[in-house]
Each structure stands twice: as structure tokens, then as C-alpha cells.
Amino acid sequence: MIARWLLMALTWALALAAAAATWFVFSAPAVDAPAGPPPGYLQAKGDALFKASFKAVGVAGVPLSALRGKPLIGYFWPSWCVECAAEVTALQTMQDRHGNDGLVVLGFGVDQADRIERFARANGIGFPVFAGGQAAIDLSQKMGNLRAAMPFVVAIDRQGRAVASHLGRFGPHTAQDMAASALR
């Protein structure tokens, strides 16, 4: 008899505890999550690009620090990437379409300079290309590519903030979205 009474009391206690927990969880005021990372974080990602230094491939390079204040798209890729030729074409189209708006596309090859130069020539790249090897991979990580995977593209606005990024293969729509983000 006492065991039955204890079992019933324990059941009621558990039911009350469950009800209280449910009330606490579902009646707590909602806390709005921040809309995105803090501006300082976005700024630090953009600043990583302006502090970097790479060897230009094919044509005379522009010091990256001189590009501060311009909307930029940074594209990181390996020369052996077959799909990257289509991505480069999409980015070249964005450079041609929005060049008068100040948009600058930059390519960072994560390979040896001679291989990156061959890739650039074979694919008619008209935007500045830099050979960076491991240093380019490291820069991509500082700009948000936490997996260090390729290809990776990042948009930087006129204030120098990294405002959008994409990891993996992409097409013309993604390139257009990146350009729009950089130009906002």
C-alpha cells in the first residue's frame, strides 16, 4: 500500500515538474538573434585582403591595399579545377558588366604561379590574378572559408567589409549575387 502511494506521489511530482518545465520553455520571451555577425568581424575579414601581398600573374599587379574603398569580389581556386573555368567566365562577365560601377574581381590561385598563369591564359581571364599557394588558402580562411575548401568566392563592399561568401561550385546567378552584395 505504501509503495503504491509513493509511486502515485512520484508520478504526480514528475507530471508537475514536466508542466513547469514546459511553461518555462514556451513562455519565456523570445530573444531575437542578431541579424548577422558584428560589423567588426566583417571588417576584420575584409582587412585581411588589404593587408595581403601576392605575386601578380600575367600582368602588372595592383597592390591590394590600393583597392580599399572599391567593391571587390575575391575568387580563390586551384588550377586543376575543371568547373572553375565556367566560374571564371561568370566572374569575367560581372567584371565587364559592373566595371564602370567600380567593381573589381580578383583571382587568387592556390597553386604554383606557372600553373595559375597557364589557367588564366587558357580561360581568357581579364581581371587581376595572383598566385598564392598556401598563403592564398590562409587568406581565404581569414575571409570566412573555415573549411579551406575550394573554390571560394567572397564579396567585399566599399567600406571594406566581407558581406557575402560562397563555398563550392557556382554559376552566373551566384556571381551576380556576389556583385550585387559588393555594390550595395
Question: According to the model, what pLDDT value does residue 5 have?
Answer: 66
Question: According to the model, what pLDDT value does residue 16 have?
Answer: 61
62 pLDDT band (50/70/90 cuts)? confident
Question: According to the model, what pLDDT value does residue 31 have?
Answer: 43
Residue type, 153: V
Q: Do residues 58 and 129 both lie within one domain?
A: yes
The angle subtended at Cα 130 by Cα 129 and Cα 132, nearest 5°, is 150
Q: Do residues 69 and 128 both lie within one domain?
A: yes
Element (H, E) at 3: helix 2-27
Q: Do residues 117 and 175 both lie within one domain?
A: yes
- Better pLDDT: 129 or 58: 129
Q: Do residues 127 and 165 both lie within one domain?
A: yes
Q: Do residues 20 and 58 both lie within one domain?
A: no
Q: Do residues 154 and 73 both lie within one domain?
A: yes
Question: According to the model, what pLDDT value does residue 1 have?
Answer: 65
Question: According to the model, what pLDDT value does residue 73 have?
Answer: 97
At 5-52, the pLDDT tens digits run 666 766 766 656 555 544 444 444 444 444 455 556 667 788 889 989
pTM of the predicted protein model:
0.77
At 98-129, the pLDDT tens digits run 999 999 999 999 999 999 999 999 999 999 99
Domain membership of residue 119 as a residue range = 39-183
Element (H, E) at 55: strand 55-57
Domain harbouring 68, CATH code: 3.40.30.10
The C-alpha cell that represents 108 in the structure block? 587568387
Q: Do residues 16 and 84 both lie within one domain?
A: no
Closest CA to 57 of 113, 105, 135: 113
| SS3 (DSSP) at 30 | coil
Q: Average pLDDT in the 85-95 region?
A: 93
Q: Whole-angstrom distance between the N-terminal and C-terminal Cα of the chain?
A: 75
Question: According to the model, what pLDDT value does residue 33 have?
Answer: 41
Q: Do residues 136 and 159 both lie within one domain?
A: yes
Q: Do residues 19 and 48 both lie within one domain?
A: no
Count of domains observed in the chain: 2
Q: Do residues 110 and 49 both lie within one domain?
A: yes
